[in-house]
Amino acid sequence: MKTGDRVKFSFAKKEMEGVVEHAFEKNVYIKADFPKDKGKIIKRKVKDIKA
């Protein structure tokens, strides 16, 4: 997993899609578009991400 990859993650019992902003050994920061907050950056564990 590297910067710019598109990944899927769970949020509020739904599948969402976003773009990896920063990837570290155990954590990933993802930029996603939420209905009321475009371009929000969220943090997830690498093990919770579906590539």
pLDDT of residue 31: 97
pLDDT at 50: 82
Q: Could you say which residues of the chain have pLDDT below 50?
A: none
The encoded tokens of residue 22 equal 């920063």
Q: What is the pLDDT of residue 8?
A: 94
Q: Which of 32, 29, 31 is nearest to 45 (CA)?
A: 29
CA gyration radius, the chain: 10
pLDDT at 18: 95
* pTM listed for this prediction: 0.86
The domain limits of the chain are: 6-48
- Residue-wise pLDDT for 13-27, tens only, equals 899 999 999 999 999
